[in-house]
């Protein structure tokens, strides 16, 4: 009895993991091929966000502070 419950739980977890992986691969493939993917009547548009390595971005750097010498028309 315990073996059957264990096998049922294992089957459920394996099915969930395989379904999750298949869904992600399907969305990724449709985004690459079509630039969008569909869920029922909804259309989701995809765009690729470049990684930090590709852009050379370094998020650890402090952002430059705005120049306070430049005033807007609101202060005049």
Query: Which residues share a beta bridge with 36?
Result: 45
**pLDDT grade, residue 15 (50/70/90)?**
very high
What dihedral angle (degrees, nearest 10) is formed by the CA atoms of 11, 16, 20, 22? 40
Instruction: Judge whether 46 and 31 are in contact, CB under 8 Å.
Output: yes
**Does residue 24 register a pLDDT over 80?**
yes
Q: Which residue has the higher pLDDT, 55 or 12?
A: 12
Q: Which residue has the higher pLDDT, 60 or 38?
A: 38
Global pTM? 0.54
Residue with tokens 């079509």: 34
DSSP-based three-state secondary structure for 50: coil
**Mean per-residue pLDDT over the chain, rounded:** 81
Q: Residue 57 carries which DSSP code?
A: -
Average pLDDT over residues 34-58: 80
Q: Where are the beta strands (DSSP E) in the chain?
A: 36-39, 42-45
């Amino acid at each position: 009895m315990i073996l059957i419950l264990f096998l049922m739980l294992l089957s459920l977890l394996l099915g969930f993991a395989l379904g999750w992986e298949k869904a992600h691969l399907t969305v990724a493939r449709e985004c690459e091929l079509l630039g969008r993917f569909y869920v029922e009547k909804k259309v989701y548009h995809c765009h690729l966000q470049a990684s930090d390595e590709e852009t050379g971005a370094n998020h650890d750097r402090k952002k430059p502070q705005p120049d306070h010498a430049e005033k807007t028309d609101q202060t005049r």
